[in-house]
């Protein structure tokens, strides 16, 4: 799933995701998404990756609506 070009970067992302999951529990994904949003509407790549990793750890499906999830 993750590209192999920067293993240290992905190790930092995975480590931060585990720390946030341990510290904040179920709210960690939403906190990472909030941190990924900048005031000007752009995204911060690191926190976006952390949010995606948290979604993967939690088994969330990103971009799937509630009605589509149960089909």
Residue 70: φ, ψ to 5°: -100, 15
Instruction: Give me the residues paired with residue 28 across strands.
Output: none
Check residue 62 and give its pLDDT: 77
> How much is the pLDDT for 59?
85
Digit-coded pLDDT (tens) for 3-60: 556 778 889 999 999 999 999 998 999 999 999 988 887 778 889 999 999 999 988 8
When pLDDT is averaged across residues 61-67 and rounded to a whole number, the result is 70
Query: How many angstroms separate the CA atoms of 47 and 4, rounded?
Result: 19
Cα Dmax for the chain: 38
Angle, helices 45-58/28-36, rounded to nearest 10 degrees: 160
Look at 16 and 70; give whichever has higher pLDDT: 16
φ, ψ of residue 41 to 5 degrees: the values are 95, -15
Looking at residue 15, what is its pLDDT?
Answer: 95
């Amino acid at each position: 799933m993750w590209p192999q070009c920067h293993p240290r970067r992905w190790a930092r992302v995975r480590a931060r995701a585990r720390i946030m999951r341990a510290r904040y529990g179920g709210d960690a994904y939403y906190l990472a998404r909030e941190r990924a949003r900048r005031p000007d509407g752009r995204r911060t790549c690191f926190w976006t990756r952390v949010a995606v990793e948290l979604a993967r750890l939690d088994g969330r499906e990103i971009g799937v609506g509630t009605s589509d999830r149960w089909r």
